[in-house]
């Protein structure tokens, strides 16, 4: 007899990581191309010497440093194995079976996964015609079973960013008992007027999620954090897998905070390349939404898979999203040049349906 598992998990929408193969230009996973700073590598190396010991399960030093950095109380900080783990913990901490989690679609692919794992119901609200969150529709989708609303800003994979006024107007429509998670994984690339921490200060139902994986270049060590009302932060700790944030990850995050100015200066170069790539694609005739992240999005519909496959044949790994579109990470200048050259070929333009 086959051991029994939950039958509903047979239909779970599995998270699909970006692909890779030797020699490929990987523009699929929104990683930074620059490695950790020397000071961060030194901290990781030093921490590795104590790998025979369990990590600080309470991550006491890192939350204190984050609280000081952000100007919040340490009781509001929860640390996780990347911000995606905090997404899952938040749903587990707030939802019983049958409760609802509202989010835009398309948005971060982990949202429906963590929702179903918790036994909750995913409520997907279509994006607007210009690939942004439809906040009015999301507010209308909230019911008495809604427990969490995820707002990914800038949105992954479309790159669109909301304004502070738009978010404030939306939050005014959300019942105070419903948790609104502002997922700011790409916050450091966003030059808008939105800072989730400032919004959180006056709204206890807002939880801000951030990560060291993107602008800080620590995708491989897995560390992120949440800023939340102390009651929520404490509850996140109760569903947290013990020792999930490694000693190396905590050391790397601490060293990165100490080098924040140097690390975030890198984002200016990424933004310049992002705008250059988008301008080149627009000139070639593509539709490319405005983006506030470290990627551009091509809404290619049912042409997405073929387009990504053609790029892969040329050694370029992009991220297709079903029959919606293709996301392209901004890499180094020479990598971006390779992608733009491909995108402007007659074959690629034809595949994308760009008028001649």
* Per-residue pLDDT of the chain in tens (356 residues, 90 and over written 9): 678 888 888 887 666 666 667 788 999 999 999 989 999 999 999 999 999 999 987 658 999 999 999 999 999 999 999 999 999 999 999 999 999 999 999 999 999 999 999 999 999 999 999 999 999 999 999 999 999 999 999 999 999 999 999 999 999 999 999 999 999 999 999 999 899 999 999 999 999 999 999 999 999 999 999 999 999 999 999 999 889 999 999 999 999 999 999 988 999 999 999 999 999 999 999 999 999 999 999 999 999 999 999 999 999 999 999 999 999 999 999 999 999 999 999 999 999 999 87
Token digits for 249? 């990850």
Q: Is the pTM of this model over 0.85?
A: yes
Cα–Cα distance between 155 and 55 in angstroms, integer?
33
Mapped onto helix, strand or coil, the DSSP state of residue 319 is strand
Mapped onto helix, strand or coil, the DSSP state of residue 126 is strand
Task: Concatenate the DSSP letters of all residues of 139-198 into one string.
Answer: HHT--TTEEEEEEESS-TTT-----HHHHHHHHTTS-TTSEEEEE-TTGGG--SS--HHH
Cis previous bond, 208, omega within 30 = no
């Amino acid at each position: 007899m086959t051991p029994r598992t939950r039958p509903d998990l047979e239909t779970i929408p599995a998270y699909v990581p970006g692909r890779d193969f030797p020699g490929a230009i990987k523009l699929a996973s929104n990683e930074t191309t620059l490695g950790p700073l020397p000071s961060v590598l030194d901290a990781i190396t030093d921490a590795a010497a104590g790998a025979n010991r369990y990590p600080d399960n309470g991550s006491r030093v890192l939350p204190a440093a984050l609280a000081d950095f952000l100007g919040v109380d340490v009781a509001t900080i929860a640390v996780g194995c990347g911000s995606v783990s905090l997404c899952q913990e938040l749903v587990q901490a707030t939802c019983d079976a049958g409760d609802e989690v509202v989010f835009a679609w398309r948005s971060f692919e982990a949202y429906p996964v963590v929702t179903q794992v918790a036994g909750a119901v995913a409520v997907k609200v279509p994006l607007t015609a210009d690939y942004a969150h439809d906040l009015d529709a999301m507010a209308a989708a909230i019911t008495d079973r809604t427990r969490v609303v995820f707002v990914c800003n800038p949105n992954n994979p479309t790159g669109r960013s909301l304004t502070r006024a738009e978010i404030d107007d939306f939050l005014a429509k959300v019942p105070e008992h419903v948790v609104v998670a502002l997922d700011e994984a790409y916050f450091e690339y966003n030059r808008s007027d939105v800072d989730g921490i400032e919004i959180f200060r006056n709204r206890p139902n807002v939880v801000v999620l951030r990560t060291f994986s993107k602008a800080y270049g620590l995708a491989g060590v897995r560390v992120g954090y949440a800023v939340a009302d102390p009651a929520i932060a404490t509850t996140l700790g109760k569903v947290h897998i013990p020792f999930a944030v490694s000693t190396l990850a905590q050391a790397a995050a601490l060293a990165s905070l100490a080098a924040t100015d140097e690390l975030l200066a890198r984002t200016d170069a990424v933004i310049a390349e992002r705008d250059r790539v988008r301008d080149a694609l627009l000139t070639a005739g593509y539709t490319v939404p405005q983006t506030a992240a470290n990627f551009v999005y091509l809404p290619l519909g049912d042409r997405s898979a073929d387009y990504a496959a053609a790029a892969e044949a040329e050694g370029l790994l992009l991220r297709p999203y079903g029959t919606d579109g293709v996301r392209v990470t901004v890499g180094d200048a020479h990598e971006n040049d390779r992608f733009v050259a491909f995108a402007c070929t007659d074959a690629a333009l034809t595949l994308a349906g760009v008028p001649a």
